[in-house]
Chain A
Amino acid sequence: MVISPDLITGVLSFIITIMILSYLIGDNPIFRIAIYLFIGVSAGYIAAVAWWQVLWPKLVIPLRSGNTVDRSLAIIPLLGAILILMKVLPRLSKIGSPAMAYLAGVGAAVAIGGGLTGTLYPQMAATINAFDLNRVSTGNVLGFMGLIRDGGVILVGVISSLAYFHFGARTRPDGSVRRFGFIEILAWIGQIFIGITLGVIFAGVYSAALTMFIERISSLLRFIGLS
């Protein structure tokens, strides 16, 4: 008799779900078994995917069947990969430092470039464009007053929450370290906007978690035929 993959999947899914659900009681061996199993499987799976969808197409194939340019370009990362793998041995870990330095440098550059082009400019532009009168005509906002209101609120929110993070301060005569009064006022307004933002996001996370909780319980009930 051949056991269908769906059945195996369903059984595994049911067991794992129950085991992890037991965490509601508290940390327990059953929960531990489930999460260690999950960690091992997910890590093994991701490593296999990394091999087949990263190293295989980008390193192995060019070295095996690529042209001269591809091979020459693949040699450098190959050496880098070997250097990184040297870190397996603590004594040789220093050898891998150049490769890690390369990664750190690239990561820093990507973070800077992505931050500027992906967040700062778009967000600034969006904040400014909130006052675009053309949007009134397109009906994206509720009339002129709506544009003033929404744009103004967003602008105040952006400026005040930016001011909230201001770090520079001075020592007052009474010994307390405070920022300038004007900044303190802006920061006070800013923390209201920050609180609202985090609260809204928190509600979103809770609704997402609740949805997943419902989905898991639903799957359990479905598996045992109660739903």
Chain B
Amino acid sequence: MRYFIAAIAVASGLLVLVGYFLPALANVEMILLNWAMILAGAAMFLGIFNLISVHSEKIRHREKGNLYSALLLIALLGTFFLGFILGPDNISMRILLNGIILPAEAMLMGLLAVTLLYAAIRLLRRRVNIMSVIFLISALLILIGTVTLPLGNMPIFGALRSWMTNVLAVGGARGILMGVVLGTLTTGLRVLFGMDRPYGGK
């Protein structure tokens, strides 16, 4: 059984990969990807069930914060059935999006202004090495280059900011992204050859 499951992963992966680069198999790849899309959609419902089971257990065992879990379950099920019945474009869903989801996410993002500043201030207390120093200096230069004075841009920093963003940072970004691709390549190949089996199996 384990080999059968691994064979499915290997076969599906190889087919998609070949179709990715061979136009002749592009249609096959599209079909396989559509299936994957549907399975991902089905997995979404299982994810909902996972959320429900985790928090319902908290309620059942009266763990810390079980009342919050109850609130989460009510909001989850209420929103889902509302959207399931009325559709995602219903006015009620818009209210939920603009009244809860959006302000919550936006404010959480806004909180990062404090947490990131806090982290930057304490960075050199965590690690004192050349990369951390360069990190802070470049961040400061970008911030300074972004700021304007009442009378106009900061004289030199504006141009420096543009050059750092378009040239200096690009070199490092490309190097990092290329390295990430190399890691992705080997990781993906391990899965394709069944060396890694995130779907289970020894």
Contact = CB atoms under 8 A, between A and B. Distances in A.
A20 interface: yes
A102 B87 contact: no
B5 A196 contact: no
Contact of A85 (B32, B45, B82, B170): B45
Nearest to B169: A200
A47 interface: yes
Q: Which of B36, B133, B192 has the most CB of A within 10 A?
A: B36
B31 interface: yes
Contacts of B71: 33, 36-37, 40
A158 interface: yes
B53 to A, nearest CB: 8
Interface residues of B, number: 126
A10 B98 CA distance: 8
Nearest to A99: B39
A221 interface: no
B40 A116 contact: no
A186 to B, nearest CB: 11
Interface string B86-107: 0110010111111111111111
B46 A203 contact: no
A107 B112 CA distance: 31
B168 A196 contact: yes
B19 to A, nearest CB: 9
A199 B171 contact: no
Interface stretch (A131-139, A173-181, A211-219): A211-219
Return the 5 tightest CB-CB contacts between A and B, nearest first: A157-B171, A48-B83, A161-B175, A44-B79, A40-B75
Interface of B: 1, 4-6, 8-17, 20-21, 31-49, 51, 65, 68-69, 71-84, 87-88, 91, 93-114, 116-117, 120, 130-143, 146, 164-181, 184-185, 187-189, 191-192, 197-201
